[in-house]
Structures are given as structure tokens and as C-alpha cells.
Amino acid sequence: MSASSIADRPARSAGGPAKVALVPMTFGLGLGLGMGSFTGGALQSIYPYVAGTLATSSDHALWTLTYFLVHWALGIALMPWFSKKFGLKRLFILAMITLAASCFMAIVVKSLMLMLIARSIQGISAGILVPLVQTLLLTNYPKRHQTLATALWSNIMLIPFFLGPAFGGWLATNYSWLDIFWLAIPMCAVAVALVQISLPADKPTSRPPKFDIVGLILLWPGLIALQIVLDQGEQFGWFRSVFISHVALLAAVLLVLFVIWELFEPVPLLQLRYLARRNFGFGLLLLCLGWSIFVGWSSILPLWSETDLGYNGWWGGVLLVPLAATAIPMAAMMSRLTKLFSLRLLAVFCFLIYASAYALAFFDPEVGLSATVISELIQGIAVGMLFVPLTMIVLSDAAPEELAIASTTSNFIRVSSANLGVTLLTTLWQRETAHIQDNMRGDMPHAATQAWIDRMQHHGLSHDSVIALLDHQAHIVAETWSLDNALRLSAYLCVGAALMALVLLRAPRRQ
């Protein structure tokens, strides 16, 4: 960036021309957005530590991610109206204060239920920051640096999901995982101070439009009910359980009523009519598939490395670092690649690279984490390619005045899809593990098994200890085989997605 571009420049505000200091503004906005994403991503590799503090299981500790994600999506949907109500600068400060307060709440609570409430508040704050920071950067950067502003925004949002798990694991291993929140609180204060001194006041001069309160009343409990089904369905036996059946029915009724209401509401939270547009609907479907598979595997692999291989939270987080090594440079190259190749072709290549990463991946407890590095590097290339072409395709048919609501709708649906990816992959992993382990018990020769038990008892182990050790080893093998099966399924899905991108998407009339 040239010296002139980082100098103070005029900006529009309610009170007339004002000065914007781009450097402190960029650091402040980036720090705020980064902290929002960091509080979400840093817990991905430390579920056993979270479970120990909250006296629950690692599966239940996973809810601290899923409840964050569902409210992250809700925050994205709420941001446009709140920005008209408070103004962009004041909304940023309010979101940062709320994020800091919810971090303090997460530090002091000791129960899973209260932690989920704290994580939900964090998710709403972080969700508001995603489109809000993007809007503030694009509004205040010179037009010639709009691409730089977009690149900064996307990388700041995604890097904490790549590197946050490793840092969170390091804190959990050497100090306490709650230090994640202790770190976030002063960073939020610094972000507020930088934005306060660099941006002019922008109090709205007109009243905001009518808030879609009915849509929110239908959407929020509908999402919570759906999340309860996704998180607890396997535990209760899915629809064999009366509780899960009733909650699923409630979720379906609320969300169907929400869709109907939004189709006829003049000022809706989400503009669902855009889903009927070819590029918007199919492009968003592919974007959701790529994002949900990525988030699902990013949650499962650290959990596998810690529960089955015995690694600590630091190494569980390091497992995701190779993603950043290729995703960040690839994301930086996308603006140039969009000028050389068609958006549809880039989307096809993206999913073919995804498929190759999952097809080449092979997990082996004897080899350890080194067996995952190559596939993670390849997957990082696909993640870096995912957002730019598909987002441009999704928004390609939107008129300029429709971009804000179209972007809000697509981001909400994309973020919401991550919970589905986490739940489906986790359920598939658990069920396939149980099936494989049952088959292993039936296929083991009785004589050989008894000889192994006798040999271990000869070394001083009790019969019960030997049986527990045998079951544990069989469980590790079954879980690893189950992961490999899920990888093959993910590869097939991505090949299908590449074919969908080639056949169903059309070249945008404008980029």
C-alpha cells in the first residue's frame, strides 16, 4: 500500500466530512474481527479439557462449538438492522463490549448450560462483526484498494480457525484453556480504543426500518430446537426417542413458518426468494457443502488425535496448521486467478482438489499425525479457493441495491450449514465405529484371543485389565477405519459437487 493510501482521508459521516486514520482503523477492526473468530476457533482442539472443567463428556463439550456457530449465523442476520439503528461505529463498539462481557462470563461459569449461554452470546457478537467489519473496511478504504480490503477481511476472519486451535491447545496444555477468554478481553478493549480514535461518529440521522420481530421469534427458537436435535439425537437414539421426535417437530414447524413469513414480509430478516435464482441457489448449496465438510473435519480430527492417539491439545491444534500454510497464500491469489479463469471453472477445480485431499488421506495410529500432513496441505488449497468464486457466483445476479440483503442471506445459510456438517460427520464416525468394532469382536479367532490374554496375564495384568486393554485397542482401530471410510465418502461428495458446479452453474453476467 502506498503512503498516500494509508494517510488520513475524507470519509462520509452524519455530521459532514471527517477524517479516517486507516492504519489504526484497520488494526482495530482486524483485531475485533480476529477476536470474534478466535473465540470460536480456539476451542476446536481442546474438547477433553473443556469437558474436564465442566464435568461432562467430550461429545457434550463439542456443543460449545455448535452453539457458537448457530448464534454466529444469527448475528450475521441481525447486523443489517442493528447497523441502521446504532450506526456502524457504535455497533462495532457495542459488539466488542458484548464479546468481552461474554468472555468474562465463560471464565466464571462452571456448568455446561451456562457455558453454552456464554458461547451463544459470543457467537452473536462474532456474527455481527463479520459483515460489519467488511462494510467498514469497504466504506473507508479508497476504491483502488477495495480488493486489498476484501483480502484483509477474509484472511482475518479465517486465520483464527486455522491457527486458533493450536494456540488454544498450547494454552490449555501449559496453562488453562480459560486463558483464551482472559486474552480476548484486553484485546477487545484495544480494538475499541483504536476504532474510537480512528473513525468519526456515524449516528444515524433517520429511523431504522421496521424490525422483523415475528421472523426473529420464529427463527431463534427454531434454530435452538434444531440444534438440540443435532447435538443430542445420537445420545437419545434419534427418532426412536419421544423427546427428540417432539423437539424435531417443533423445529420443523417453527422453521417452516419462518420461511413462509419471510416470503411475504416486506422487510425480512433474510430474503429467501433469492434461493429460486439459479446461481444463488446452486452456488450457495455448493458453498455450504464445501464449508460444512471443512468445519466438520476440522472438529473431528483434533478430537481423534487426542482421544485415540493420546496427543495433547497443542498437537491436536497443530493438526490444522498445514491448512493455513496453503489456504492463506491461495486466498491471496484468488483475485488474480479470477481474471485468468472463469468462476465456474475455479469452483470445479476447488471441489476436485477437495476430493483429491480426502481420497489421498489415510490415518494410521502407528504413524501418528505425520500421516495427515499431505492431505491437510491439499485441503488448504481447496479451502483457499472456496470462497471467492462461489461467493461471486452467488451474488452475480443481485442488483447493487440487493447486495446487502443477498450477502446477509447467503452468509447466514452458509454459517448455519457448518453445524449440519459437524453433526453428520460425528454421527457417521460414531455409528461406523460401533459397527466395525462389533464385526471385529466376531471375527477375532477365539483361540488366538485367549492366548493373547493369557500372555498378558503372565506379565502381571489382571484379567479385567487385559480385557479393557483389548477393547481399547479395538476401539482405536475401529475409529480410525471409520474415519477412513468417512474420508472416502467426503471425496465422492466433492466429485459430485464438481459435476454440479460444471453442469448447474452458469457464467455470471457480471462479476
CB contact at 8 A, 212 and 268: yes
Longest dimension (CA), the chain: 87
Q: What is the DSSP string of 384-451?
A: HHHHHHHHHHHTTT--GGGHHHHHHHHHHHHHHHHHHHHHHHHHHHHHHHHHHHHHHHHHS-HHHHHH
d(CA 129, CA 292): 21
338 three-class SS: helix
Give the length of the chain.
511
Considering Cα of 414, then 279, then 289, then 359, what sign does the dihedral take?
Answer: negative
Instruction: List, as one string, the DSSP characters of 213-239.
Output: HHHHHHHHHHHHHHHHHHHHHHHHTGG
Long-range CB pairs of 332-336, under 8 A, 24+ apart, other chains included: 332/151, 332/155, 333/384, 334/384, 334/385, 334/387, 334/388, 334/389, 335/147, 335/150, 335/151, 335/388
pLDDT at 92: 93
- Label residue 214 exposed, middle or buried (CB < 10 Å: 0-12, 13-18, 19+): middle
**Could you read off the pLDDT of 422-447 as tens digits, one per residue?**
788 888 887 888 777 777 665 555 55
CA nearest to 231, candidates 466, 430, 465, 15: 430
Give how far Cα 457 sits from Cα of 157, 210, 360, Å: 54, 74, 40
Going through 167-258 in order, the beta strands assigned E by DSSP cover: none
pTM above 0.85, yes or no: no
Residues 6 or more apart in contact with residue 335 via CB below 8 angstroms? 147, 150, 151, 388
- At 39 the three-state DSSP class reads helix
- Alpha-helical segments (H) within 308-342: 313-318, 321-340
Helices (H), ranges, 265-363 = 278-307, 313-318, 321-340, 343-360
The grid coordinates of residue 355 equal 476430493
Nearest to 213 by CA among 157, 261, 144: 261
Domains of the chain, start order? 1-210 (1.20.1250.20), 213-266 (no CATH), 273-511 (1.20.1250.20)
- In three-state secondary structure terms, 508 is coil
Q: What is the pLDDT of residues 139-168, one digit of tens each?
A: 787 877 766 777 778 778 878 877 888 888
Which segments in the chain show pLDDT lower than 50?
1-17, 448
DSSP tag of 369: G
Q: Using an 8 Å Cβ cutoff, are 95 and 426 in contact?
A: no
Structural contact between residues 490 and 356, judged by C-beta atoms closer than 8 angstroms: no
* d(C-alpha 373, C-alpha 392), whole Å: 30
